[in-house]
């Protein structure tokens, strides 16, 4: 029968995690229809069936790690309509009938009958109680093979028994039988020193990958951060004056701060090309393109999709693209192409109220720009004048192996000058 295999995802991605089965055993499947959602290091990907038919078997559970090319499901011929429940119940009924026949033929050998029909008895008992254990198909099959009563297996979450829970239940049962004294000794300290309430759960693949990469960046780069501050008065006044006209001219697109900082970053990258570079072994690769990553916060954590060719886009096109990418990120619709091969990243902690931070470089890039909250503060205009001005701290974290302090300071100074004089920024664009 045709197998559904994990497809090629991206050059740097070799495995993923089963996030959710969109189809179950017995369901009809059309050619090209998505049957499972796969969580990768960067985005979620839907895997489709290359054949039409009925989903016959799931070869991996939700939460399992699978590799590119690995078979994860089997699709057979026919048409189905969610028959997994009925097929399983038929197996349960058949097992129950067999058990009853054995009891009728030899009532005196009750213990022998129990050992011969352990797998059938476990599911039959759940039917007798009017309840059926909620378990994955592979867990049911595995439990029958091991002679485990599914009703005695405790799931860790979502009340769904998985294969790993069956294994854990068997290990606990073996430990209880062979080492009862050791179990009592283990319990005793817990009773004497009860722990504080906690919630333990596995990290998502994306969070684990992000944690790993951030640690790698910290360990493998000479990362420093330099700061500057920007008087936002002029750019805020410009936005206020042009806001309504900009919306009319560009079909409802709003003029935000991100387009100003993106265009300013492009101008600064052209002036200081080392900031748009990366190290590859003994080589330094200076990028001649300007694909700017914009950090987006989602329920699953921070994602950084890239706005391509920012040097060729105007303010409205950049704002549109940022809005589209942010929506795709929140709707879990980002593709791998949206997440790879960027040259520079901007992160805006100011939307969460951050006044100052030291952002961590994104992947193999050489630097990252951090924006922060706009705070009204008293600023000395000259020796005799102090005014309240809307001020923003900006930060540049950079890899000191290829960017010197002089270039880093000059880069931030360029950003500051262009934002404080937005007319100059328009000319630069």
Predicted confidence band of residue 91 (pLDDT cuts 50, 70, 90): very low
pLDDT at 95: 46
In this predicted structure, the answer to whether residue 22 has a pLDDT above a threshold of 60 is yes
Of 26-35, 37-46, 82-91, the poorest mean pLDDT is in 82-91
Which of 237, 382, 400, 424 is labelled catalytic? 400
Residues 6 or more apart whose Cβ sits within 8 Å of residue 122:
143, 144, 147, 148, 149, 150, 151, 152
H or E segment at 316? helix 315-330
Predicted confidence band of residue 178 (pLDDT cuts 50, 70, 90): low
Closest by Cα among 371, 253, 238 to 319: 253
More confident residue, 185 or 256: 256
The burial of 167, by beta-carbon neighbours within 10 Å (0-12 exposed, 13-18 middle, 19 or more buried), is given as middle
| Interval 82-109 mean pLDDT | 46
Residues 6 or more apart whose Cβ sits within 8 Å of residue 3:
59, 71, 73, 74, 75
In this predicted structure, the answer to whether residue 379 has a pLDDT above a threshold of 90 is yes
Contact 250, 316 (CB under 8 A): yes
Contact 290, 343 (CB under 8 A): yes
- Percent of the chain beyond pLDDT 70? 77
In this predicted structure, the answer to whether residue 374 has a pLDDT above a threshold of 90 is yes
Which residue is it, tokens 């008087």? 231
Predicted confidence band of residue 202 (pLDDT cuts 50, 70, 90): confident
Predicted confidence band of residue 84 (pLDDT cuts 50, 70, 90): very low
Task: Specify whether 400 is catalytic.
Answer: yes
In this predicted structure, the answer to whether residue 227 has a pLDDT above a threshold of 60 is yes
In this predicted structure, the answer to whether residue 234 has a pLDDT above a threshold of 60 is yes
pLDDT per position as a tens digit, 323-347 = 999 999 888 888 878 888 899 999 9
Query: For all residues of the chain together, what is the average pLDDT?
Result: 81
pLDDT at 110: 45
Predicted confidence band of residue 156 (pLDDT cuts 50, 70, 90): low
Task: Specify whether 404 is catalytic.
Answer: yes
pLDDT at 57: 87
More confident residue, 340 or 407: 407
In this predicted structure, the answer to whether residue 172 has a pLDDT above a threshold of 50 is yes
Contact 342, 306 (CB under 8 A): yes
Predicted confidence band of residue 299 (pLDDT cuts 50, 70, 90): confident
Predicted confidence band of residue 348 (pLDDT cuts 50, 70, 90): very high
Predicted confidence band of residue 11 (pLDDT cuts 50, 70, 90): low
Contact 346, 269 (CB under 8 A): no
| Interval 281-301 mean pLDDT | 91
- Written as one string, the DSSP assignment of 128-171 is HTT----B-HHHHHHHHHHT--GGGPPPSSTT-B-HHHHHHHHH
pLDDT at 127: 42
pLDDT at 343: 94
Predicted confidence band of residue 383 (pLDDT cuts 50, 70, 90): very high
Predicted confidence band of residue 133 (pLDDT cuts 50, 70, 90): low
Please report how the helices 118-128 and 84-105 are oriented relative to each other, as an axis angle in degrees rounded to 10. 110
Which of 30, 97, 337, 404 is labelled catalytic? 404
User: CA–CA separation, 316 vs 165, rounded Å?
Assistant: 53
| Interval 79-97 mean pLDDT | 48
Predicted confidence band of residue 371 (pLDDT cuts 50, 70, 90): very high
More confident residue, 428 or 187: 428
Count H helices and E strands in the chain, helices first.
12, 19
In this predicted structure, the answer to whether residue 126 has a pLDDT above a threshold of 50 is no
More confident residue, 167 or 37: 37
The burial of 382, by beta-carbon neighbours within 10 Å (0-12 exposed, 13-18 middle, 19 or more buried), is given as exposed
């Amino acid at each position: 029968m045709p197998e559904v295999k994990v497809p090629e995802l991206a050059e740097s991605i070799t495995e993923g995690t089963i996030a959710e089965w969109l189809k179950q055993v017995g369901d009809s499947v059309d050619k090209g229809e998505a049957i499972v959602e796969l969580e990768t290091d960067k985005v979620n990907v839907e895997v489709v069936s290359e054949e039409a038919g009925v989903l016959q078997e799931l070869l991996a559970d939700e939460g399992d790690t699978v590799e590119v090319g690995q078979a994860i499901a089997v699709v057979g011929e026919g048409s189905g309509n969610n028959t997994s429940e009925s097929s399983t119940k038929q197996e349960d009924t058949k097992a129950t009938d067999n058990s009853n026949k054995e009891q009728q033929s030899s009532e005196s050998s009750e213990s022998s009958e129990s050992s011969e029909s352990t797998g059938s008895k476990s599911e039959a008992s759940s039917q007798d109680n009017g309840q059926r254990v909620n378990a994955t198909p592979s867990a049911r099959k595995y439990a029958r093979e091991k002679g485990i009563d599914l009703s005695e297996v405790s799931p860790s979450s979502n009340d769904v028994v998985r294969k790993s829970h069956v294994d854990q239940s068997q290990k606990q049962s073996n430990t209880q039988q062979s080492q009862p004294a050791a179990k009592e000794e283990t319990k005793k300290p817990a009773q004497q020193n009860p722990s504080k309430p906690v919630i333990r759960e596995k990290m998502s693949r994306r969070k684990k990958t992000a944690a790993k990469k951030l640690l790698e960046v910290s360990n493998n780069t000479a990362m420093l951060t330099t700061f500057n501050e920007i008087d936002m008065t002029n750019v805020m006044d410009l936005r206020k004056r042009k806001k309504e006209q900009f919306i009319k001219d560009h079909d409802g697109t709003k003029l935000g701060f991100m387009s100003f900082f993106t265009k300013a970053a492009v101008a600064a990258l052209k002036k200081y090309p080392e900031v748009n570079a990366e190290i590859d072994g003994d080589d330094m690769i200076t990028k001649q393109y300007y694909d700017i990553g914009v950090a987006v916060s989602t329920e699953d954590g921070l994602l950084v999709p890239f706005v391509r060719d920012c040097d060729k886009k105007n303010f409205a096109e950049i704002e549109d693209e940022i809005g589209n990418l942010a929506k795709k990120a929140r709707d879990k619709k980002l593709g791998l192409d949206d997440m790879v091969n960027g040259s520079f990243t901007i992160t805006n902690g100011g939307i969460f109220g951050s006044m100052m931070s030291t952002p961590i470089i994104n992947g193999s890039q050489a630097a990252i720009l951090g924006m922060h909250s706009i705070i009204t503060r008293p600023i000395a205009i000259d020796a005799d004048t102090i005014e309240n001005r809307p001020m923003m701290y900006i930060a540049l974290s950079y890899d000191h192996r290829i960017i010197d302090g002089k270039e880093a300071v000059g880069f931030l100074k360029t950003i500051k000058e262009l934002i404080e004089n937005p007319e100059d920024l328009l000319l630069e664009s």
